[in-house]
Structure 1
Protein backbone atom coordinates (compact mmCIF):
# COMPACT_ATOMS: atom_id res chain seq x y z
CA UNK A 1 0.00 0.00 0.00
CA UNK A 2 1.23 3.48 -0.88
CA UNK A 3 2.29 5.90 1.83
CA UNK A 4 0.91 9.23 3.00
CA UNK A 5 0.34 11.84 0.29
CA UNK A 6 -1.14 15.32 -0.13
CA UNK A 7 -4.79 16.01 -1.01
CA UNK A 8 -7.07 19.05 -1.24
CA UNK A 9 -9.56 18.58 1.60
CA UNK A 10 -12.66 20.54 2.62
CA UNK A 11 -12.26 22.00 6.14
CA UNK A 12 -14.71 24.89 5.86
CA UNK A 13 -12.39 25.98 3.07
CA UNK A 14 -10.19 23.98 0.69
CA UNK A 15 -6.82 23.16 2.24
CA UNK A 16 -3.87 20.97 1.33
CA UNK A 17 -3.19 18.33 3.95
CA UNK A 18 -1.71 14.83 4.30
CA UNK A 19 -3.90 11.87 3.47
CA UNK A 20 -3.47 8.10 3.60
CA UNK A 21 -4.79 5.91 0.76
CA UNK A 22 -8.42 4.85 1.35
CA UNK A 23 -9.75 1.38 1.96
CA UNK A 24 -11.24 -0.24 -1.15
CA UNK A 25 -14.87 -1.37 -0.64
CA UNK A 26 -16.44 -4.37 -2.32
CA UNK A 27 -16.92 -3.74 -6.04
CA UNK A 28 -14.60 -0.70 -6.03
CA UNK A 29 -11.04 -0.10 -7.20
CA UNK A 30 -8.13 2.01 -5.99
CA UNK A 31 -7.16 4.56 -8.61
CA UNK A 32 -3.77 6.28 -8.68
CA UNK A 33 -4.81 9.70 -9.91
CA UNK A 34 -2.69 11.47 -12.52
CA UNK A 35 -5.04 14.35 -13.41
CA UNK A 36 -8.01 15.77 -11.50
CA UNK A 37 -10.48 18.57 -12.22
CA UNK A 38 -11.59 21.47 -10.08
CA UNK A 39 -15.05 22.25 -11.47
CA UNK A 40 -18.06 24.55 -10.79
CA UNK A 41 -19.31 22.19 -8.09
CA UNK A 42 -16.07 22.77 -6.17
CA UNK A 43 -16.52 26.51 -6.69
CA UNK A 44 -20.07 26.27 -5.30
CA UNK A 45 -18.82 24.41 -2.23
CA UNK A 46 -16.07 27.00 -1.67
CA UNK A 47 -18.59 29.85 -2.00
CA UNK A 48 -20.75 28.30 0.72
CA UNK A 49 -23.59 27.49 -1.67
CA UNK A 50 -23.40 23.73 -1.39
CA UNK A 51 -22.59 21.84 1.83
CA UNK A 52 -20.27 18.84 1.97
CA UNK A 53 -18.82 17.03 4.97
CA UNK A 54 -15.61 18.27 6.53
CA UNK A 55 -12.74 16.01 5.53
CA UNK A 56 -14.08 15.30 2.04
CA UNK A 57 -11.53 15.26 -0.78
CA UNK A 58 -12.49 17.82 -3.43
CA UNK A 59 -12.35 17.50 -7.22
CA UNK A 60 -15.33 16.48 -9.36
CA UNK A 61 -13.59 14.07 -11.74
CA UNK A 62 -10.26 12.57 -12.61
CA UNK A 63 -8.24 10.00 -14.47
CA UNK A 64 -5.47 7.59 -13.60
CA UNK A 65 -4.43 3.94 -13.30
CA UNK A 66 -6.22 1.14 -11.44
CA UNK A 67 -3.80 -0.15 -8.78
CA UNK A 68 -5.91 -2.40 -6.59
CA UNK A 69 -9.21 -4.27 -6.88
CA UNK A 70 -11.77 -4.65 -4.13
CA UNK A 71 -13.67 -7.90 -3.63
CA UNK A 72 -15.97 -8.61 -6.62
CA UNK A 73 -14.52 -5.72 -8.63
CA UNK A 74 -14.24 -6.05 -12.40
CA UNK A 75 -10.90 -7.86 -12.81
CA UNK A 76 -10.51 -6.66 -16.41
CA UNK A 77 -9.72 -3.19 -15.03
CA UNK A 78 -6.55 -4.28 -13.20
CA UNK A 79 -3.65 -2.08 -14.28
CA UNK A 80 -5.83 -0.23 -16.78
CA UNK A 81 -6.07 3.50 -17.41
CA UNK A 82 -9.52 4.78 -16.48
CA UNK A 83 -11.58 7.93 -15.99
CA UNK A 84 -14.82 8.79 -14.24
CA UNK A 85 -17.77 8.47 -16.63
CA UNK A 86 -20.87 8.11 -14.46
CA UNK A 87 -22.36 9.47 -11.24
CA UNK A 88 -25.53 8.78 -9.29
CA UNK A 89 -27.13 9.75 -5.99
CA UNK A 90 -24.87 7.31 -4.13
CA UNK A 91 -21.59 8.41 -5.71
CA UNK A 92 -21.04 11.89 -7.12
CA UNK A 93 -17.76 13.41 -5.93
CA UNK A 94 -17.37 15.58 -3.95
CA UNK A 95 -21.09 15.74 -3.03
CA UNK A 96 -21.29 12.03 -2.29
CA UNK A 97 -17.91 10.43 -1.78
CA UNK A 98 -14.36 11.72 -1.97
CA UNK A 99 -13.25 13.61 -5.05
CA UNK A 100 -10.14 13.17 -7.15
CA UNK A 101 -7.78 15.85 -5.82
CA UNK A 102 -5.78 13.18 -4.03
CA UNK A 103 -3.06 10.87 -5.29
CA UNK A 104 -5.20 7.84 -4.46
CA UNK A 105 -8.99 7.52 -4.50
CA UNK A 106 -11.44 4.61 -4.27
CA UNK A 107 -14.02 4.53 -7.09
CA UNK A 108 -16.89 2.12 -7.94
CA UNK A 109 -16.02 0.02 -10.99
CA UNK A 110 -19.47 0.78 -12.40
CA UNK A 111 -18.61 4.49 -12.58
CA UNK A 112 -15.35 4.44 -14.54
CA UNK A 113 -14.44 3.58 -18.12
CA UNK A 114 -11.19 2.44 -19.67
CA UNK A 115 -9.38 5.10 -21.71
CA UNK A 116 -6.54 4.99 -24.23
CA UNK A 117 -4.54 7.91 -22.88
CA UNK A 118 -4.15 9.61 -19.51
CA UNK A 119 -4.13 13.35 -20.11
CA UNK A 120 -5.91 16.50 -18.87
CA UNK A 121 -8.65 16.19 -21.51
CA UNK A 122 -9.76 12.78 -20.24
CA UNK A 123 -10.88 14.38 -16.97
CA UNK A 124 -13.81 15.77 -19.01
CA UNK A 125 -15.09 12.31 -19.98
CA UNK A 126 -17.88 12.56 -17.39
CA UNK A 127 -19.25 15.82 -18.80
CA UNK A 128 -19.06 14.43 -22.33
CA UNK A 129 -21.03 11.42 -21.14
CA UNK A 130 -23.63 13.66 -19.47
CA UNK A 131 -23.99 15.55 -22.76
CA UNK A 132 -24.48 12.28 -24.66
CA UNK A 133 -27.17 11.15 -22.21
CA UNK A 134 -28.93 14.49 -22.64
CA UNK A 135 -28.87 14.32 -26.44
CA UNK A 136 -30.27 10.80 -26.41
CA UNK A 137 -33.15 11.88 -24.17
CA UNK A 138 -34.00 14.93 -26.31
CA UNK A 139 -34.57 12.94 -29.48
CA UNK A 140 -37.95 14.58 -30.09
CA UNK A 141 -36.98 18.23 -29.51
CA UNK A 142 -36.22 20.76 -32.22
CA UNK A 143 -35.55 24.09 -30.49
CA UNK A 144 -33.40 23.83 -27.34
CA UNK A 145 -32.13 26.52 -24.97
CA UNK A 146 -28.96 25.62 -23.05
CA UNK A 147 -28.45 27.79 -19.96
CA UNK A 148 -24.78 27.95 -19.03
CA UNK A 149 -21.64 27.39 -21.07
CA UNK A 150 -19.32 25.45 -18.81
CA UNK A 151 -18.13 22.06 -20.03
CA UNK A 152 -21.51 20.32 -19.61
CA UNK A 153 -23.40 23.16 -21.30
CA UNK A 154 -20.86 23.55 -24.09
CA UNK A 155 -20.57 19.82 -24.81
CA UNK A 156 -24.36 19.44 -24.79
CA UNK A 157 -24.79 22.37 -27.17
CA UNK A 158 -22.23 20.95 -29.60
CA UNK A 159 -23.65 17.44 -29.74
CA UNK A 160 -27.20 18.78 -30.14
CA UNK A 161 -26.10 21.12 -32.94
CA UNK A 162 -24.20 18.27 -34.61
CA UNK A 163 -27.42 16.24 -34.53
CA UNK A 164 -29.40 18.98 -36.27
CA UNK A 165 -31.11 20.68 -33.34
CA UNK A 166 -31.68 24.43 -33.28
CA UNK A 167 -29.61 25.37 -30.23
CA UNK A 168 -29.35 28.69 -28.41
CA UNK A 169 -26.81 29.11 -25.60
CA UNK A 170 -27.61 31.50 -22.75
CA UNK A 171 -24.47 32.93 -21.15
CA UNK A 172 -23.64 36.39 -19.82
CA UNK A 173 -19.86 35.90 -19.96
CA UNK A 174 -18.20 37.64 -22.94
CA UNK A 175 -15.47 34.98 -23.01
CA UNK A 176 -17.89 32.06 -23.20
CA UNK A 177 -20.02 33.93 -25.74
CA UNK A 178 -16.99 34.31 -28.00
CA UNK A 179 -16.08 30.65 -27.59
CA UNK A 180 -19.61 29.44 -28.34
CA UNK A 181 -19.90 31.68 -31.41
CA UNK A 182 -16.52 30.50 -32.67
CA UNK A 183 -17.93 26.98 -32.54
CA UNK A 184 -20.94 28.03 -34.62
CA UNK A 185 -23.48 28.35 -31.79
CA UNK A 186 -26.05 31.11 -31.38
CA UNK A 187 -25.82 32.88 -28.01
CA UNK A 188 -28.01 35.22 -25.95
CA UNK A 189 -27.03 37.11 -22.81
CA UNK A 190 -30.52 37.46 -21.38
CA UNK A 191 -33.69 35.39 -21.33
CA UNK A 192 -35.98 36.16 -24.28
CA UNK A 193 -39.56 35.16 -25.05
CA UNK A 194 -38.82 32.58 -27.72
CA UNK A 195 -40.50 29.23 -27.32
CA UNK A 196 -38.27 26.19 -26.84
CA UNK A 197 -39.19 22.52 -26.82
CA UNK A 198 -36.69 21.87 -24.04
CA UNK A 199 -34.35 23.74 -21.73
CA UNK A 200 -31.04 22.33 -20.53
CA UNK A 201 -30.20 23.85 -17.14
CA UNK A 202 -26.41 23.51 -17.30
CA UNK A 203 -26.03 26.51 -14.99
CA UNK A 204 -26.18 26.40 -11.19
CA UNK A 205 -27.98 29.78 -11.21
CA UNK A 206 -31.50 28.75 -10.17
CA UNK A 207 -32.90 32.26 -10.75
CA UNK A 208 -31.85 32.24 -14.41
CA UNK A 209 -33.29 28.76 -14.91
CA UNK A 210 -36.66 29.74 -13.45
CA UNK A 211 -36.70 32.95 -15.52
CA UNK A 212 -36.18 30.95 -18.70
CA UNK A 213 -38.86 28.42 -17.79
CA UNK A 214 -41.39 31.21 -17.18
CA UNK A 215 -40.55 32.96 -20.45
CA UNK A 216 -40.43 30.00 -22.84
CA UNK A 217 -42.78 27.41 -21.25
CA UNK A 218 -40.98 24.30 -22.59
CA UNK A 219 -42.38 20.80 -22.27
CA UNK A 220 -39.17 19.40 -20.74
CA UNK A 221 -36.22 20.52 -18.67
CA UNK A 222 -32.86 18.75 -18.32
CA UNK A 223 -31.18 19.59 -15.02
CA UNK A 224 -27.50 19.65 -14.12
CA UNK A 225 -26.92 16.63 -11.82
CA UNK A 226 -26.27 18.91 -8.83
CA UNK A 227 -30.02 19.60 -8.69
CA UNK A 228 -30.55 16.01 -7.57
CA UNK A 229 -28.70 16.55 -4.31
CA UNK A 230 -29.92 17.85 -0.99
CA UNK A 231 -28.52 21.24 -0.12
CA UNK A 232 -28.89 22.88 -3.52
CA UNK A 233 -31.81 25.33 -3.94
CA UNK A 234 -34.80 23.70 -5.57
CA UNK A 235 -35.96 24.81 -8.98
CA UNK A 236 -39.62 25.27 -8.05
CA UNK A 237 -40.85 25.56 -11.62
CA UNK A 238 -38.90 22.52 -12.86
CA UNK A 239 -40.96 19.80 -11.28
CA UNK A 240 -44.20 20.77 -13.05
CA UNK A 241 -42.51 19.71 -16.30
CA UNK A 242 -41.08 16.49 -17.62
CA UNK A 243 -37.69 16.51 -15.90
CA UNK A 244 -34.55 14.56 -16.70
CA UNK A 245 -31.29 14.51 -14.75
CA UNK A 246 -28.44 12.89 -16.73
CA UNK A 247 -26.00 10.72 -14.81
CA UNK A 248 -23.71 9.64 -17.65
CA UNK A 249 -22.42 6.21 -18.59
CA UNK A 250 -22.39 6.73 -22.38
CA UNK A 251 -18.80 5.57 -22.95
CA UNK A 252 -18.63 5.22 -26.74
CA UNK A 253 -20.43 8.48 -27.50
CA UNK A 254 -18.46 10.33 -24.80
CA UNK A 255 -15.10 9.26 -26.21
CA UNK A 256 -16.06 10.42 -29.71
CA UNK A 257 -17.43 13.76 -28.49
CA UNK A 258 -14.40 14.45 -26.34
CA UNK A 259 -12.03 13.69 -29.20
CA UNK A 260 -14.00 16.06 -31.43
CA UNK A 261 -13.60 18.81 -28.80
CA UNK A 262 -10.05 17.98 -27.72
CA UNK A 263 -8.49 21.18 -29.05
CA UNK A 264 -11.27 23.32 -27.55
CA UNK A 265 -10.66 21.79 -24.12
CA UNK A 266 -6.88 22.10 -24.35
CA UNK A 267 -7.15 25.79 -25.27
CA UNK A 268 -9.53 26.65 -22.42
CA UNK A 269 -8.08 24.95 -19.34
CA UNK A 270 -5.09 25.65 -17.13
CA UNK A 271 -3.01 22.67 -16.02
CA UNK A 272 -1.69 23.15 -12.48
CA UNK A 273 1.30 21.26 -11.12
CA UNK A 274 0.89 19.93 -7.59
CA UNK A 275 -1.98 20.30 -5.14
CA UNK A 276 -2.82 23.78 -3.89
CA UNK A 277 -6.35 25.25 -3.89
CA UNK A 278 -6.88 27.39 -7.01
CA UNK A 279 -7.62 31.12 -6.82
CA UNK A 280 -11.29 31.86 -6.23
CA UNK A 281 -11.76 34.54 -8.89
CA UNK A 282 -11.34 34.36 -12.65
CA UNK A 283 -9.50 31.54 -14.34
CA UNK A 284 -9.86 29.81 -17.72
CA UNK A 285 -13.29 29.13 -19.24
CA UNK A 286 -13.22 25.39 -18.59
CA UNK A 287 -11.37 25.65 -15.30
CA UNK A 288 -8.34 24.00 -13.73
CA UNK A 289 -6.93 20.51 -14.17
CA UNK A 290 -4.32 19.41 -11.63
CA UNK A 291 -1.38 17.21 -12.52
CA UNK A 292 -0.66 15.12 -9.42
Structure 2
Protein backbone atom coordinates (compact mmCIF):
# COMPACT_ATOMS: atom_id res chain seq x y z
CA UNK A 1 0.00 0.00 0.00
CA UNK A 2 1.02 3.64 -0.47
CA UNK A 3 1.59 6.31 2.12
CA UNK A 4 2.99 9.81 2.59
CA UNK A 5 6.02 9.74 4.86
CA UNK A 6 8.94 11.85 5.98
CA UNK A 7 12.36 10.73 4.78
CA UNK A 8 14.23 14.02 4.98
CA UNK A 9 11.57 15.26 2.57
CA UNK A 10 7.92 14.38 1.99
CA UNK A 11 7.57 11.26 -0.18
CA UNK A 12 4.68 9.18 -1.53
CA UNK A 13 5.98 5.62 -1.35
CA UNK A 14 5.12 2.01 -0.57
CA UNK A 15 4.65 1.45 3.17
CA UNK A 16 4.10 -1.69 5.24
CA UNK A 17 0.63 -2.39 6.59
CA UNK A 18 0.95 -1.52 10.29
CA UNK A 19 0.93 -3.92 13.22
CA UNK A 20 -1.81 -3.33 15.83
CA UNK A 21 -0.11 -2.99 19.21
CA UNK A 22 -1.73 -2.66 22.63
CA UNK A 23 -4.11 0.28 22.91
CA UNK A 24 -4.20 0.80 19.14
CA UNK A 25 -6.82 0.26 16.48
CA UNK A 26 -6.32 -0.44 12.78
CA UNK A 27 -8.48 1.55 10.43
CA UNK A 28 -9.00 2.19 6.75
CA UNK A 29 -8.51 5.88 6.03
CA UNK A 30 -11.78 7.38 4.77
CA UNK A 31 -10.88 11.09 4.87
CA UNK A 32 -7.56 12.86 5.43
CA UNK A 33 -6.53 16.49 5.37
CA UNK A 34 -3.28 18.37 4.78
CA UNK A 35 -2.87 20.96 7.54
CA UNK A 36 -0.32 23.54 8.66
CA UNK A 37 1.35 20.75 10.65
CA UNK A 38 2.30 18.80 7.52
CA UNK A 39 3.53 22.05 5.98
CA UNK A 40 5.62 22.77 9.08
CA UNK A 41 7.16 19.29 8.92
CA UNK A 42 8.02 19.75 5.23
CA UNK A 43 9.74 23.06 6.04
CA UNK A 44 11.69 21.57 8.95
CA UNK A 45 9.89 23.75 11.52
CA UNK A 46 8.35 20.79 13.36
CA UNK A 47 10.71 17.81 13.74
CA UNK A 48 9.61 14.21 13.20
CA UNK A 49 11.30 10.83 12.78
CA UNK A 50 12.61 9.61 9.44
CA UNK A 51 10.15 7.01 8.13
CA UNK A 52 7.19 8.51 9.99
CA UNK A 53 3.87 8.34 8.11
CA UNK A 54 2.35 11.83 8.05
CA UNK A 55 -1.26 12.87 8.61
CA UNK A 56 -2.53 14.70 11.70
CA UNK A 57 -6.17 15.05 10.65
CA UNK A 58 -8.54 12.44 9.27
CA UNK A 59 -11.30 9.88 9.66
CA UNK A 60 -10.86 6.10 9.75
CA UNK A 61 -13.22 3.12 9.74
CA UNK A 62 -12.05 0.49 12.23
CA UNK A 63 -11.20 -2.94 10.80
CA UNK A 64 -9.25 -4.42 13.73
CA UNK A 65 -8.39 -3.68 17.38
CA UNK A 66 -5.72 -4.79 19.83
CA UNK A 67 -6.57 -7.57 22.29
CA UNK A 68 -7.10 -5.11 25.17
CA UNK A 69 -9.84 -3.19 23.33
CA UNK A 70 -13.50 -4.05 22.72
CA UNK A 71 -14.06 -5.75 19.36
CA UNK A 72 -17.42 -3.93 19.07
CA UNK A 73 -15.37 -0.94 17.85
CA UNK A 74 -14.87 -2.72 14.51
CA UNK A 75 -16.89 -1.06 11.75
CA UNK A 76 -17.21 2.25 13.61
CA UNK A 77 -15.77 5.59 12.53
CA UNK A 78 -13.27 7.69 14.44
CA UNK A 79 -11.82 11.15 13.98
CA UNK A 80 -8.14 11.96 14.49
CA UNK A 81 -7.39 15.57 15.42
CA UNK A 82 -4.04 17.24 16.08
CA UNK A 83 -3.46 17.71 19.82
CA UNK A 84 -1.01 20.03 21.49
CA UNK A 85 1.10 17.26 23.04
CA UNK A 86 0.42 14.21 20.82
CA UNK A 87 0.16 14.63 17.05
CA UNK A 88 -0.26 12.16 14.21
CA UNK A 89 2.75 12.28 11.90
CA UNK A 90 4.90 13.68 14.72
CA UNK A 91 4.48 11.49 17.82
CA UNK A 92 2.98 8.47 16.04
CA UNK A 93 2.26 7.42 12.45
CA UNK A 94 -0.60 9.40 10.91
CA UNK A 95 -3.46 8.85 8.48
CA UNK A 96 -1.96 9.73 5.09
CA UNK A 97 -1.94 6.07 4.11
CA UNK A 98 -4.51 3.46 3.11
CA UNK A 99 -4.50 1.74 6.51
CA UNK A 100 -3.46 3.44 9.74
CA UNK A 101 -2.78 2.06 13.22
CA UNK A 102 -3.68 4.76 15.74
CA UNK A 103 -3.81 5.05 19.55
CA UNK A 104 -7.43 4.61 20.60
CA UNK A 105 -7.13 7.27 23.34
CA UNK A 106 -6.40 9.92 20.70
CA UNK A 107 -9.54 9.26 18.65
CA UNK A 108 -13.03 10.74 18.80
CA UNK A 109 -16.07 8.66 17.75
CA UNK A 110 -17.93 10.13 14.80
CA UNK A 111 -21.22 9.25 13.10
CA UNK A 112 -21.12 7.75 9.62
CA UNK A 113 -23.51 10.56 8.65
CA UNK A 114 -20.75 13.17 8.93
CA UNK A 115 -18.24 11.06 7.02
CA UNK A 116 -20.16 11.78 3.81
CA UNK A 117 -19.07 15.44 3.95
CA UNK A 118 -15.31 16.17 3.67
CA UNK A 119 -15.92 19.61 5.22
CA UNK A 120 -16.22 17.82 8.57
CA UNK A 121 -12.41 17.95 8.74
CA UNK A 122 -12.42 21.76 8.62
CA UNK A 123 -15.13 22.03 11.27
CA UNK A 124 -13.38 19.48 13.48
CA UNK A 125 -9.98 21.17 13.27
CA UNK A 126 -11.52 24.45 14.46
CA UNK A 127 -13.87 22.92 17.03
CA UNK A 128 -12.03 24.73 19.84
CA UNK A 129 -13.53 28.08 18.76
CA UNK A 130 -16.52 27.70 21.09
CA UNK A 131 -14.16 27.42 24.09
CA UNK A 132 -12.06 30.29 22.81
CA UNK A 133 -14.97 32.74 22.88
CA UNK A 134 -15.30 32.77 26.68
CA UNK A 135 -11.68 33.89 27.05
CA UNK A 136 -11.76 36.73 24.50
CA UNK A 137 -15.23 38.23 25.01
CA UNK A 138 -15.03 41.94 25.87
CA UNK A 139 -11.22 41.99 25.83
CA UNK A 140 -8.40 43.39 23.72
CA UNK A 141 -6.97 40.45 21.79
CA UNK A 142 -3.74 40.25 19.83
CA UNK A 143 -3.81 37.49 17.21
CA UNK A 144 -0.38 36.37 16.04
CA UNK A 145 -0.61 35.02 12.51
CA UNK A 146 -2.36 35.89 9.23
CA UNK A 147 -3.17 32.51 7.69
CA UNK A 148 -6.56 31.01 6.79
CA UNK A 149 -7.12 29.85 10.39
CA UNK A 150 -6.65 33.43 11.61
CA UNK A 151 -9.18 34.61 9.06
CA UNK A 152 -11.85 32.11 10.16
CA UNK A 153 -11.33 32.75 13.87
CA UNK A 154 -11.19 36.52 13.46
CA UNK A 155 -14.56 36.41 11.68
CA UNK A 156 -16.03 34.50 14.64
CA UNK A 157 -14.70 36.74 17.41
CA UNK A 158 -14.47 40.19 15.80
CA UNK A 159 -17.87 41.32 17.13
CA UNK A 160 -17.12 40.03 20.64
CA UNK A 161 -13.79 41.73 21.33
CA UNK A 162 -11.29 44.30 20.10
CA UNK A 163 -9.11 42.18 17.83
CA UNK A 164 -5.72 43.13 16.44
CA UNK A 165 -4.06 40.80 13.92
CA UNK A 166 -0.35 40.89 13.12
CA UNK A 167 1.81 39.02 10.61
CA UNK A 168 5.53 38.37 10.59
CA UNK A 169 5.62 39.59 6.99
CA UNK A 170 3.10 40.48 4.30
CA UNK A 171 0.66 37.63 3.79
CA UNK A 172 -1.90 36.97 1.08
CA UNK A 173 -4.63 36.74 3.74
CA UNK A 174 -3.76 40.11 5.27
CA UNK A 175 -6.19 42.06 3.09
CA UNK A 176 -8.87 39.39 3.49
CA UNK A 177 -8.66 39.64 7.28
CA UNK A 178 -8.78 43.44 7.08
CA UNK A 179 -12.14 43.14 5.31
CA UNK A 180 -13.56 41.64 8.53
CA UNK A 181 -13.16 45.09 10.08
CA UNK A 182 -10.26 44.56 12.48
CA UNK A 183 -6.82 46.14 12.78
CA UNK A 184 -4.27 44.23 10.67
CA UNK A 185 -0.56 45.00 10.27
CA UNK A 186 2.89 43.54 9.88
CA UNK A 187 4.55 42.93 13.23
CA UNK A 188 6.94 45.89 12.99
CA UNK A 189 3.93 48.21 12.72
CA UNK A 190 2.06 46.87 15.76
CA UNK A 191 -0.01 49.69 17.28
CA UNK A 192 -0.15 48.70 20.97
CA UNK A 193 2.34 47.24 23.42
CA UNK A 194 0.20 45.01 25.68
CA UNK A 195 -3.12 43.16 25.39
CA UNK A 196 -5.51 41.25 27.65
CA UNK A 197 -5.17 38.13 25.51
CA UNK A 198 -2.53 36.96 23.04
CA UNK A 199 -3.78 34.21 20.71
CA UNK A 200 -1.09 32.21 18.90
CA UNK A 201 -2.20 31.18 15.40
CA UNK A 202 1.18 30.99 13.70
CA UNK A 203 4.07 28.57 13.21
CA UNK A 204 6.57 31.44 13.19
CA UNK A 205 8.98 30.87 16.08
CA UNK A 206 9.79 34.59 16.00
CA UNK A 207 6.18 35.68 16.56
CA UNK A 208 5.62 32.98 19.18
CA UNK A 209 8.71 34.18 21.07
CA UNK A 210 7.20 37.69 21.22
CA UNK A 211 3.95 36.60 22.88
CA UNK A 212 5.12 37.25 26.45
CA UNK A 213 6.21 40.76 25.52
CA UNK A 214 2.67 41.71 24.50
CA UNK A 215 0.49 40.20 27.23
CA UNK A 216 -0.56 42.24 30.27
CA UNK A 217 0.53 41.18 33.76
CA UNK A 218 -2.76 39.41 34.45
CA UNK A 219 -3.43 38.56 30.82
CA UNK A 220 -3.69 35.26 28.98
CA UNK A 221 -1.68 33.56 26.25
CA UNK A 222 -3.93 31.14 24.37
CA UNK A 223 -2.39 28.27 22.39
CA UNK A 224 -4.87 26.19 20.35
CA UNK A 225 -4.45 22.39 20.45
CA UNK A 226 -3.39 22.47 16.80
CA UNK A 227 -0.12 24.31 17.56
CA UNK A 228 2.62 21.71 18.23
CA UNK A 229 4.24 21.95 21.67
CA UNK A 230 7.69 21.86 20.03
CA UNK A 231 7.07 25.44 18.88
CA UNK A 232 6.03 26.81 22.26
Q: Do the aligned partners of 2:55 and 2:96 also contact (CA within 8 Å) in 1?
A: yes
Deviates more, 1:194-203 or 1:77-86: 77-86
- TM-fit CA distance, 1:142: 1.4
Matched, 1:11 2:11: no
The CA distance in 1 between the partners of 2:170 and 2:31, in whole Å, is 27
Q: Secondary structure at the match of 2:172?
A: helix
Query: Larger % of strand: which?
Result: 2
Residue aligning to 1:64:
60
Q: Deviations over 1:110-167 (max 9, x none)?
A: 322304322432223552134344445x2676121121244543444344346x2332
Residue aligning to 1:209:
208
Q: Deviations over 1:23-76 (max 9, x none)?
A: 223333222113322222222222223321111011221123222233343656
Residue aligning to 1:148:
145
Structure 1 length as normaliser, TM-score?
0.65
Structure 2 length as normaliser, TM-score?
0.79
Compare relative contact order (CA 8 Å, sep 6+) and give the higher one, 1 or 2.
1
The CA distance in 2 between the partners of 1:77 and 1:160, in whole Å, is 38
Q: Do the aligned partners of 2:198 and 2:222 also contact (CA within 8 Å) in 1?
A: yes
Shift in CA distance, 186/80, structure 1 to aligned 2, threshold 3 Å: farther
1:100-249 mapped onto 2 (5 Å cutoff): 100-113=95-108, 114-115=110-111, 116-118=113-115, 119-136=117-134, 138=135, 142-150=139-147, 152-161=149-158, 164-171=160-167, 172-183=169-180, 185-190=182-187, 191-193=190-192, 195-211=194-210, 213-215=212-214, 217=216, 219-225=219-225, 226-229=227-230, 232=231
The CA distance in 2 between the partners of 1:81 and 1:107, in whole Å, is 13
Unaligned runs of 5+ in 2: none
Unaligned runs of 5+ in 1: 235-292
Count of residue pairs the alignment pairs up: 224
Q: CA RMSD in A?
A: 2.9
The CA distance in 1 between the partners of 2:25 and 2:92, in whole Å, is 14
Q: Do the aligned partners of 2:145 and 2:166 also contact (CA within 8 Å) in 1?
A: yes
